[in-house]
Structure 1
Amino acid sequence: MATGRVMALDVGKVRVGVALTDELGYTAQPLLTLWRKTRGEDFRSLLRLIRKHEVVEIVVGNPLHMSGDVSPWAAKVHEFADELRKRSALPVQLWDERLSSVAAHEILNEAEYGQRDRKYVIDQVAAVVILRGWMDAKEQAAARTKPE
């Protein structure tokens, strides 16, 4: 993996969960929840985070229907990812995020995290789930292509 961090985004209508890898690309950690304001402000905030954390690639959760069809929200997220690709000049990958919110709730349940405060962290945890899935898939692909 290139030096620098990979950022994952769980893009919602009200909030964007943000997670990052460590610099070596071994772990995924929650960073913050961005409360959406305007499209311009959202992108300015994300671009500041990208610069600050020396991000080299971005993974955006792709909210497909369970059938795999593109949902209306997924179409908007695709536009968001395209604009982020243009504004950041970085590679932006879409990653299937089906069941990431379910997994995030399970993680918070296991940690006995209170219901009242979940809206402040659920999107971050979902972004970690998205990033971890993407990282695992990259590892598996690399393992399949290694000569024995």
Structure 2
Amino acid sequence: MTEDEIRAFAEASRDGLRLIGIDLGTRTIGLALSDVGRQIASPLETIRRVKFTPDVARLRALCEAHEVGGLVMGLPLNMDGSEGPRTQSTRAFVRNLRPLLPLPVLFWDERLSTAAVTRALIAADASRARRGEVVDKLAAAYILQGCLDAMRGVLGDEEDEAGAT
């Protein structure tokens, strides 16, 4: 994600509103929520996928309940950075989502997010069953936190430059 994409997303998603991070899988959708200051990502929920319409209805309800101003969608790129079938599926999901949930969306590289979270859970001696319960929403938090950190870096640099003039 380029600095321009991050900057445009930050401007489109109103300040004072939270962001939701999304780890879209074939069977589940992991969700994470930022605080209103957009500093910290916290795991929120894992939606068991049924069909598109009820999945989006749940996402929309959460966005309304938590006053969400934008979505950070994990983009499952191949390890070489190319786009494969899962990436195309994610982009199609967002295309279908936009008319039903008109919030700004930023695609975020999610390569190795699930692997990193799984390693941390194994290191914490979480059982296989427990890992299965939480890995998707923790991966969403990992994705969202990466975006929040990058936004702070990009926007913080601009504030530093503005203060120096």
State the TM-score, normalizing by the size of structure 1.
0.94
Runs of 4+ more than 4 Å apart:
none
Given residue 68 of structure 2, which amino acid in structure 1 is its aligned partner? Answer: V
RMSD: 1.2
Q: What are the Cα deviations for residues 30-76 of structure 1, in whole angstroms up to 9, with x where unaligned? A: 01110000111111111111111111000000000001000101101
Instruction: Determine helix, strand or coil for the equivalent of 1:127.
Output: helix
Q: 1:75 matched to which residue of 2?
A: 88
Deviation of the 1:117 alpha carbon: 2.2
Question: Is residue 2:122 matched to residue 1:109?
Answer: yes
Superposition deviation, residue 110 in structure 1: 3.1
State the distance in 1 between where 2:156 and 2:133 align.
36
Match of 1:10 in 2: 23
5+ long unaligned stretches in structure 2: 1-13
Structure 1, unaligned stretches of length 5 or more? Answer: none
Q: Contact 1:84/1:92 (CA < 8 Å) preserved in 2? A: no
Structure with more helix by fraction: 2
Name the larger-Rg structure.
2
* 1:27 is aligned to 2:25: no
How many residues are treated as equivalent by the alignment? 148
Shift of 1:103: 1.1
Q: For residue 139 of structure 1, what is the aligned residue in structure 2?
A: 152
After alignment, is 101-110 or 62-71 more displaced? 101-110
